C-alpha cells in the first residue's frame, strides 16, 4: 500500500511538471510572433497611421480611398500635438488617439496641428487625399 501511494504521488508530480513545461513552451511559442505586435483590424477596415513630431507630421500627404473604412491612429513621437482634419469633424490628440472613420467625399483636405505645441505650430500641416 505504502509503495503504491508513493509511486502514484511520483506519477502525479511528474505529470504536473510535464504539463507545466508544455504550457511554458506553448506560452513562449504563442508569445514570440506577437512581439512586433501586428494591428488586429476588423475585416474591411484599413489602418491610417499619423505620427507627429516637432513640428511635422510623418507624411506630407496621406492617401485614403473613398468609401473605405479606416481605423485612424494618431500618436506623438516628439512633443504634444493634435491632428485636426479640416471639414471632417475629426480631431485627434493624446486623449483621443484613434477613431474609426469612413471617408466618403473624394478631395483634398487639410490636416493641421490642433494643439498649441510651440514655435512651429502654425506651419504644422499635412494633406489628406481622398481618392
Ligand atoms: Cu501644434
Task: Say how many Å lie between the CA of residue 109 and the centre of ligand 1.
Answer: 18
**Separation of CA 72 and ligand 1 centre (Å):** 19
pLDDT in tens, 88-124: 999 999 999 999 999 999 999 999 999 999 999 999 9
Where does residue 82 rank: exposed (0-12), middle (13-18), buried (19+ CB within 10 A)?
buried
pLDDT tens digits for 22-45? 888 887 777 765 555 666 888 999
As a CATH number, domain 45-130 is: 2.60.40.420
The pairing of beta strand 45-53 with beta strand 56-57: antiparallel
User: Ligand 1 centre from 34 Cα, in Å?
Assistant: 34
Distance 60 CA to ligand 1 centre (A): 16
* Residue spans per domain, the chain: 2-34, 45-130
- Taking the centre of ligand 1 as the mean of its atom positions, its distance from the CA of residue 108, in whole angstroms, is 21
Residue keyed to cell 507630421: 57
Cut 0.75: pTM above it: no
* Span 3-19, pLDDT tens digits: 667 888 888 888 888 88
Amino acid at each position: 500500500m505504502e509503495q503504491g501511494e508513493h509511486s502514484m504521488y511520483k506519477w502525479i508530480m511528474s505529470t504536473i511538471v510535464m504539463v507545466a513545461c508544455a504550457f511554458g513552451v506553448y506560452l513562449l511559442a504563442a508569445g514570440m510572433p506577437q512581439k512586433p505586435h501586428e494591428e488586429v483590424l476588423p475585416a474591411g477596415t484599413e489602418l491610417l497611421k499619423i505620427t507627429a513630431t516637432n513640428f511635422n507630421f510623418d507624411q506630407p500627404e496621406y492617401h485614403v480611398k473613398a468609401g473605405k473604412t479606416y481605423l485612424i491612429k494618431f500618436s506623438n513621437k516628439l512633443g504634444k500635438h493634435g491632428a485636426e482634419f479640416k471639414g471632417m469633424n475629426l480631431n485627434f490628440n493624446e486623449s483621443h488617439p484613434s477613431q474609426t472613420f469612413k471617408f466618403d467625399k473624394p478631395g483634398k483636405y487639410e490636416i493641421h496641428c490642433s494643439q498649441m505645441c510651440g514655435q512651429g505650430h502654425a506651419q504644422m500641416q499635412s494633406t489628406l487625399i481622398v481618392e
